[in-house]
């Protein structure tokens, strides 16, 4: 029986937003958990290109809304837009806020810009939706200081560490600002907030994503296999070295697949009594992994033999390789692959195997304590994403 919950997902076409909408439309955790999903996206895109669960008698109703300006104007301006564009805005009960504006040249300005945007959304929603119960947004390991060379804290990273960042670093990270903003806004009200914190997010996006390591490597390996004449039906023999160094290859981390991420976000939203006012780490498995364990199966999916990193200053990094051979996608009838890559994110994603040379696994102690117990092999999430990319024509 439906609780008539209405979820609105801002940033629904992004890596985290897509994952959450997929689980909401899959009726997680049970049929009737949500009656309606409103997916707010930046640019118009037909529902068929999202590859979400198809409409059925049991799927929640879906409304896709584009053209909502979160960046500029006042909360009143945003309220008017939401009233005009979102049917049933007054009935919204759960907000999933997955929007972030990068300002690379000035991290303080980046924090201010994103806090102002979140404040507008909070003010607009709370004025329009009196039945609001939960506000979910993503943090990340940047909030544990991993951008400091060698990291800031000794892993496993626990949520309590996030409030002990060095002051000079903390002011450059939006998440502490978010917590202060939401704590003040929710005080004395019937709704609460949760910060869900992933490390590497492994999943699908319909338009590409500057944050997606899975997409970056999928396009690289797809082109690499094609250019080397690989036959996926044969035993892998063409070697492809890991794009990084030994330290990056062997450091511990805890990736999260889109399925697990979406489920944890939804679970947190439906359990504000357990999850409200907290940071909650998210990952596929309590047991950390390393790229040494992940790289060979990923390469094998493309018919390649994934091997250890090699020292070769002349070797092209994945982003450089994709740029050089991107024309192959269009020539082979995959025009969407040419336009749906990681864009400006290539350089940072190329560096992952080099600068993340220290253990950074997340503790899942709090996640388990609030009752979420799902476990899965992290490699499954990568291969699911590859299947989706191929289905969407984003790789060959």
pLDDT at position 1 is 34
Q: What is the torsional sign of CA 174, 175, 176, 180?
A: positive
What distance in Å separates the CA atoms of residue 375 and residue 316, rounded to the nearest whole number? Answer: 36
6-202+255-287+363-378, CATH topology level: Rossmann fold (3.40.50)
Q: What is the DSSP string of 352-396?
A: HHHH--S--PBP-HHHHHTT------HHHHHHHHHHHHHHTTS--
> Over the stretch 242-301, which tens digit does the pLDDT of each residue have?
999 999 999 999 999 999 999 999 999 999 999 999 999 999 999 999 999 999 999 999
Per-10-residue mean pLDDT of the chain, 396 residues long, equals: 83 98 98 98 95 97 97 97 98 98 90 98 99 98 95 98 94 96 98 98 93 97 97 88 98 99 99 98 99 98 97 93 97 94 93 96 99 98 98 96
Strands 278-281 and 61-66: unpaired
pLDDT at position 104 is 81
Count of C-beta atoms within a 10 Å radius of residue 261: 28
User: Hey, which residues does 62 pair with through a beta bridge?
Assistant: 37
What distance in Å separates the CA atoms of residue 358 and residue 249, rounded to the nearest whole number? Answer: 10
The token duo for 107 is: 């991290």
Query: Where in the chain are the domains?
Result: 6-202+255-287+363-378, 213-253+289-359+386-391
pLDDT at position 24 is 99
Helix, strand and coil content of the chain, in percent to the nearest 5, comes to 45, 15, 45
What distance in Å separates the CA atoms of residue 271 and residue 264, rounded to the nearest whole number? Answer: 10
Distances (CA, A) of 123 to 68, 82, 111, 117: 15, 12, 18, 10
Q: Answer whether 0.95 is exceeded by the pTM.
A: yes
What distance in Å separates the CA atoms of residue 344 and residue 137, rounded to the nearest whole number? Answer: 24
pLDDT at position 313 is 82
């Amino acid at each position: 029986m439906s609780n008539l919950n209405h979820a609105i997902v801002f940033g629904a076409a992004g890596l985290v937003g897509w994952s959450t909408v997929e689980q909401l439309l899959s009726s997680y955790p049970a049929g009737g958990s949500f009656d309606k999903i409103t997916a707010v996206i930046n640019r118009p895109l037909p529902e068929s290109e999202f590859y979400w669960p198809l409409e059925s008698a049991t799927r929640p109703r879906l409304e896709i809304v584009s053209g909502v300006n979160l960046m500029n104007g006042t909360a009143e301006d945003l309220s008017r837009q939401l009233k005009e564009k979102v049917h049933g805005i007054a009935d919204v009960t759960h907000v999933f806020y997955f929007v972030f504006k990068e300002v690379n040249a000035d991290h303080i300005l980046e924090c201010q810009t994103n806090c102002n945007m979140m404040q507008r959304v909070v003010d607009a929603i709370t004025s329009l939706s009196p039945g609001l119960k939960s506000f979910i947004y993503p943090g990340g390991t940047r909030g544990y200081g991993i951008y400091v060379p060698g990291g800031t804290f000794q892993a496993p990273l626990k949520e309590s560490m996030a409030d002990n960042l060095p002051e000079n670093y903390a002011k450059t990270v939006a998440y502490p600002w978010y917590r202060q903003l939401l704590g003040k806004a929710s005080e004395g009200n019937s709704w609460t907030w949760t910060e869900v914190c992933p490390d590497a997010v492994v999943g699908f996006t319909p338009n590409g994503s500057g944050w997606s390591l899975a997409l970056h490597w999928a396009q690289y390996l797809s082109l690499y296999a094609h250019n080397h004449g690989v036959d996926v039906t044969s035993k892998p023999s063409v070697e492809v070295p890991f794009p990084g160094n030994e330290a990056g290859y062997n450091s511990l981390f805890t990736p999260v697949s889109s399925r697990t991420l979406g489920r944890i976000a939804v679970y947190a939203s439906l359990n504000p009594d357990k999850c409200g006012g907290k940071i909650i780490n998210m990952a596929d498995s309590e047991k950390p992994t390393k790229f040494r364990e992940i790289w060979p199966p990923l390469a094998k999916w493309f018919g390649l033999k994934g091997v250890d990193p090699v020292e070769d200053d002349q070797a092209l990094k994945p982003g450089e390789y994709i740029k050089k051979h991107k024309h192959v996608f269009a020539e082979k009838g995959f025009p969407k692959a040419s336009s749906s890559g990681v864009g400006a994110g290539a350089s940072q994603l190329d560096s992952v195997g080099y600068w993340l040379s220290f253990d950074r696994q997340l503790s899942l102690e709090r996640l388990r304590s609030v009752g979420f117990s799902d476990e899965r092999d992290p490699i499954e999430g990568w291969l699911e994403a590859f299947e989706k990319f191929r289905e969407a024509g984003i790789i060959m």
